[in-house]
Each structure stands twice: as C-alpha cells, then as structure tokens.
Amino acid sequence: MKIMSAYLINLLTLSLFWFFLLSTIFPKDPAQSPEINLSLKEQECLSLLKRCNSIEEFKRIHVHFIKFGLFWHSFCAGNLVATCALSDWGSMDYACSIFQQIDDPGTFLFNTMIRGHVKGMNWGHGLRLYHEMLQRGVEPDNFTYPALLKACSLLLALDDGMQIHGHIFKLGLQGDVFVQNSLINMYGKCKEIGLSCAVFEQMLEKSVAS
C-alpha cells in the first residue's frame, strides 16, 4: 500500500512538472492572451486605415483605435495623424483635433502636421507649428525643412527663411541634398539669386532638381 501511495505521489509530481514545462514552452491560445489579442487588434485597425478612402470611414476607424486603447500607442497615433493630414480626402481640422490630444508629440508628428498644413496651403500655420515645435523642445530633422522652406517660398517670407537656414546650420543639416534644394528654391522665389547660387555652389552632390 505504501509502495502504491509513493508511486501515485511520484506520478502526480511528474505530471505537474510536465504541465508547467509545456505551458512555458507553448504559448496560450492567442484569444486568451491580452498582449497577442491587442497586437491582432492593432494590425486589424492599421489594415483598415491603409484601405480608408473617405473622412467618414476614417472617423469610424478612429473610434476603433480609441475603443481598443490603441490611440495612446505612438506608432498608431502617428499613422492616424498622417492618414488624416496627408490623404487627398483628409481633413486638417480633424487632424489638428487628434494632434491636440497627444501629450508629447515627437518629430514625426510635428513633421506630418507641418507637411499637412503646407499641402493644404495653410503656410502660416505650418510656420507657427514649427515655432511651437522648437518651444516644446522637439528637435527638427532633415524631413522638417523641405515643407517648411516651401511655405517660406510661397509666402515670400525671406526673413523666416533665413532664420530657418540658420537653424539648419546649427543642427548640421546643411549637407542634406533635399534641404539644400529647398533652400535654393526658397531663395530663388524670394529673388535672392546670389544666396540661391551660394547654396548651389556649396553642394557636394547636385541633383537634377538643383
């Protein structure tokens, strides 16, 4: 009897060992895992966003992002803002309302909003947003300046353009070919041909646009 009891105890111990071992090696059913379930919801919502072709549809997808708690993920928020601000059917007013709900927007989000304002011919709004970006301590990059300099060229805002040129030097971005082409265009539109030529002459690589 004692031998039988010891055998049963050993068998139970061995069964528990294999149960814990297998549960560690093999993941739970995705439907039962909150992390995996959230990831699937994120993929589903981003897929819907890529296929979106109207502001009405976009608003419904935005509700899904909020419902599943995805809006607070920076990658998802960035995709929402970019889709709304840069799509032909988009709305800058609605993009602004989303942007204002984000506590700490980074460089990508500011760049996207500046591009959206310039695309929508709200050039002054683009410049003001750039100054807000600097005030909030968000560092611009080489993607910030082409749209910004385009706004300066369309507004013939030479003083703003020259100030931005100084920022470009300070950040060490004066060697970027897209930034250089944007500077050449801005100075040319503002009829400062000498400055435009000076930027051209400093270029190590010249593109067709240059």
The pLDDT tens digits of the residues spanning 80-93 come to: 999 999 999 999 99
CA separation for the pair 102, 199 (Å, rounded): 37
Reported pTM: 0.79
Instruction: Retrieve residue 110's tokens.
Output: 């500011």
Domain ranges of the chain: 30-101, 104-210
Q: Which value, to the nearest 10 degrees, does the dihedral of the CA atoms of residues 196, 197, 201, 204 take?
A: 40
Of the candidates 77, 76, 94, 75, the one whose C-alpha atom is nearest the C-alpha of residue 85 is 94
Q: What is the pLDDT of residues 108-166, one digit of tens each?
A: 999 999 999 999 999 999 999 999 999 999 999 999 999 999 999 999 999 999 999 99
Specify the range with the lowest mean pLDDT, choosing from 5-14, 31-40, 97-106, 167-176. 5-14
Please check whether residue 62 is in contact with residue 98, taking contact to mean a CB–CB distance below 8 angstroms.
yes
- Cα 196 to chain center, whole Å? 31
- Determine contact, residues 21/14, Cβ cutoff 8 Å: no
Q: What are the CB-based long-range contacts (under 8 Å, 24+) for 167-176?
A: 167/134, 167/140, 171/139, 171/140, 171/141, 173/141, 173/142, 173/145, 174/202, 175/204, 176/142
Rounded mean pLDDT, 35-51:
81
Contact 58, 84 (CB under 8 A): yes
